[in-house]
Structure 1
Amino acid sequence: MKKSLNVLLLSILSILLLFGCSTAKQSGKFEGVGTGKHGEIKVAVTITDAKITNIEVIEQGENKGLSEPVYEDLKEAIIAQNSADVDVVSGASATSEGYLAAVKDAITKSGIKLVASKQTKTKKSELPTEQTFDVVIVGSGGAGLSAAIEAAKAGKSVAIVEKMPTVGGNTLISGGEMNAPGNWVQKNLGITGDSVEAYYNDTMKGGDNIGDPKLVHLMAEKALESAEWLRDDVHVEFLSDQLFQFGGHSFKRALIPKGHTGAELVSKLKAKAEELGVKIFLNVKAEELIQDANGRVTGVKATDKTKKEVTFLATNGVVLTTGGFGSNIEMRKQYNKEYDERYKSTDTVGTTGDGIVMAQKAGAALKNMEYIQTYPIANPKTGMISLLADTRFDGAILVNQEG
């Protein structure tokens, strides 16, 4: 009897151990690695009872302002579907692919077979078909965020409509340097003699005197005030002991943001805008300006990422800050045939001239469209800007493959 009882207990213990091992195999935290636009992305994927419950990014070299919302969108989709076989985020494909590859690597290493969920919707709520604000701003780069902050400080309700999955536009991927004559860093370095007039003359000469004198003068006059606003109101950190002297400038006058990229500007501008109650709508593409019987612009028709039509009415006005069209090859060729498919673009993929087209349809006149700026230092295969090239402003020389 005692022997039979022992055998029974051993059998039960064996079953419990087997059950425990089986459960353990269905749960755990596993690391994976993928390659993004700027190097390796390492993640930790938590799996509980064969379901993905969390994804953490442990290491990554992607642009922080661009990558964080991309990771969040992908994380939601992966957890909802219990699978890494989800679509990449439009406008951030390289970062998306690296993240997804890292998650898939972690799943493979876990040895756990996941069953894809039928759930496809994420927790994000759908946009109302119509909303009304005092001011609607199209585009969320440096200009759009600045306009939003000023409108909100004036007591207006403000919406920013942005077609990309992240804010920042070209400002985010730029070096972020800002020319300002008579700035505080010049004083720190003992640089004297710079002036608004010197900056104006440099700018006009550098642009072959094609620029509009009134606009160039306005830029020169307001440059220092704008830089001080960024420093004091928005809390952008600029280096205190270094300036750039860009080509065509007679003085070292370009302020350099912390980190040497526009990410410092965008992160602080976004934080300030949100602090003031600005509503930012990502993955929403403005399609058309709404006009009343007198031709006054009263809002924007847009589409969300599901292609559903949404309307943003503006009681006080619409501000277009959508940038240029460097990533729109057909539009480039329309205005300057030289810049065809042979040229890559250092712009973001979202820089396609949408605002220009919308404004033109609403009756705006276009000017100087053939003058398209190019940046000489970029990856020849991808067109991605090379910020390492900024070393030339410190006296370095650049040498091509032929020496």
Structure 2
Amino acid sequence: MKKMQKLFALALISVMALGAFGCGAKEETPENPSAEGIFTPGTYTAEETGHNGPVKVTVTVTENEIEKIEVDAAEETPAIAEPAIDGIIDDILASQGLGVDAVTGATVSSNAVIAAVTAALKEAGADIEALKQIKVEKEKTEVSDKEADIVIIGAGGAGMSAAVEAASAGKSVIIVEKMPIVGGNTNRATGGINASETSIQETEGIEDSTDTYYDDTFKGGKEENDPELLRVMVENSASAVDWLNELGAGLTRVSLSGGATNPRIHTPADGSAVGPVVVEVLQNRLKELGVEILMETTVTKILEEEGQATGVEAATIDGSTFLIKADAVIIAAGGFGANSDMVESFRPDLVGFSTTNHAGATGDGIELGQAVNAALDDIEHIQIHPTTDPESGYMFTEGLRGDGAILLNTEGKRFTDELLTRDVVSANILKQTGGIAYLVTNEVMKEENAALAGYIKKGYAVECETLKDVAEAIGAEEAAVTETMSKYLDAVTSGTDEEFGRTHLTQSLEEGPYYILKVTPGIHHTMGGLKIDTETHVINVDGEIIKGLYAAGEVTGGVHGANRIGGNAMTDIIVFGRIAGQTAVNELNR
């Protein structure tokens, strides 16, 4: 991961800060040698823990001015943390105060920066409470109407893929994104992208076929998938991986995930999370193409003339409204997994569940589509992911189970084939005491899987040297854990899991140290949404195409049926995002 190091310089004198602290002089003390200044001049450093690792700040102050702030957040995800850090530091320098808020979607990284700057300024002798009262005064945004060939709602994986295709074909594109960072739920994709008959599988000697991929996904979706949409996804999956790799994604590792007959989930070479990598390469390509992205801007209405989409009405974060006139509109605003009211309206049985979704996944695109008479498809199908952190909702990749992890309950026993589909594994976990289970991994897996190493570093895993320690960690009897692990070793050795029928037995887990992750199911993916055809046209309630309106990604329904196979979300957003961009371009050229 590229090292992020931001250097910011203040260009104006801090009149606001001087006024905020009044006229009284400070009492000179050994700790505060500057009797009249706000700060003790100098350079101060502090460090806090971010999302992925340490966030270090270096703050330089004069007597009355925060002059410079450097942030070293090398382990944070660039696409998520970088814009958040930029904004926070800009606000601190502009206001000369600490009355700044964390950036939604990058809360952990934001809070780490704010806390570290606060610690550094405290060491500089500042009155922290007074600084917290000073907020940046932002002028109301001046907006004017815009025009483009294509306007895209949402800067997640689907929206950015559509934009890359359209802009590469020479069309002018504007993306409207309501969040302060790009990526949406794609930022949180931890597994990989499913694809069949790829050159990477061939190199690895993996036999797979598009028909097998289709059959696995149709079966996993309880045969409620739209067959035509599914066929388009699987047949374009290999080219989707090639396309991402041409952009620099480096998806060269193939492993197994739940519901797959053969290894077909493609990940970065070190097994790290796929989402941030995809977001970064797409964002970089959009910068090269000069595509305009309007951040913290919400689409409030799709414009129509004589039944055809002609653009959007949008509002900035301060409420300023404007129009974007366009000949084509692509909805790629994601699902509604973070909108508990919407989830519960379709699935009352999911009341109270945590979510793995980012804060912006509230179903806006679905509502915008409905307002122009769009039909819905599979809207009641909502997936829960089996392995999320019970406290934070943080999701642990399905790749851990594919790479060899097993699940134990609080009694220290296995209770399922860990590689069954997500809905089945989730249901089996919920049947256990407290609806809790424990993923068991070890040092061998840690060395082979960067995602697991990351979970351990972030403190999600409990390290256990022996099986006795494992038993203590999960509250089970040592004899029960020992017996379970012995049976599993026998299964791996013999190649037959007589208890639960797991067919891919890749790790014996016979040696420690062990790393234990406590898990429970959480709301993860909404399979239903706007009804589309194979060219991504949005279909209305009368079964007709809405001219000029397209949709791709989690905002749509039909692709996954009643249950999504792990690794297929990335395939969905890239395949159909690209098709949306291509279709819009082709129809504009007619």
2:38/2:125 contact within 8 Å kept: no
**Within 2, Cα distance between the matches of 1:73 and 1:396?**
40
Among 65, 77, 85, the alignment partner of 1:51 is 65
For 2:56, give the aligned amino acid.
K
Among 343, 346, 370, the alignment partner of 1:332 is 343
1:27 matched to 2:41: yes
**Within 2, Cα distance between the matches of 1:261 and 1:46?**
37
Deviation, 1:286, is 1.5
Deviation, 1:203, is 0.8
Which 5+ residue runs of structure 1 have no aligned equivalent?
Answer: 1-20
1:171/1:262 contact within 8 Å kept: yes
Partner residue of 1:155? 170
Mapping for residues 3-402 of structure 1, pairs under 5 Å: 22=34, 26-59=40-73, 61-112=75-126, 120-121=136-137, 126=141, 128-175=143-190, 177-192=192-207, 194-232=208-246, 234-239=247-252, 242-258=253-269, 259-292=272-305, 294-314=306-326, 316-341=327-352, 343-387=353-397, 390-402=399-411
Deviation, 1:33, is 2.7
Counterpart secondary structure, 2:373: coil
**Within 2, Cα distance between the matches of 1:62 and 1:111?**
29
The percentage of counterpart residues that share the same residue type is 36
Is the alpha carbon distance of 1:38 and 1:325 closer, same or farther for their aligned partners in structure 2, counting shifts above 3 Å? same
* Number of corresponding residues: 375
For 2:405, give the aligned amino acid.
A
Q: Which has the higher contact order (CA 8 A, sep 6+)?
A: 2
1:42/1:58 contact within 8 Å kept: yes
Deviation, 1:119, is 8.3
For 2:178, give the aligned amino acid.
K
Deviation, 1:335, is 1.1
Is the alpha carbon distance of 1:118 and 1:24 closer, same or farther for their aligned partners in structure 2, counting shifts above 3 Å? closer
**Within 2, Cα distance between the matches of 1:271 and 1:226?**
17
Counterpart secondary structure, 1:216: helix
**Within 1, Cα distance between the matches of 2:170 and 2:135?**
42
1:50/1:113 contact within 8 Å kept: no
1:141/1:321 contact within 8 Å kept: yes
**Within 2, Cα distance between the matches of 1:73 and 1:125?**
16
Counterpart secondary structure, 2:61: strand
2:338/2:360 contact within 8 Å kept: yes
Using the size of structure 1 for normalisation, the TM-score is 0.87
Deviation, 1:284, is 0.9
Q: Which runs of 4+ in 1 moved over 6 A?
A: none
Deviation, 1:198, is 1.2
**Within 1, Cα distance between the matches of 2:275 and 2:93?**
32
For 1:247, give the aligned amino acid.
G
**Within 1, Cα distance between the matches of 2:48 and 2:346?**
40
2:45/2:56 contact within 8 Å kept: yes
Deviation, 1:126, is 3.5
Which 5+ residue runs of structure 2 have no aligned equivalent?
Answer: 1-32, 413-590
Deviation, 1:40, is 4.0
Using the size of structure 2 for normalisation, the TM-score is 0.60
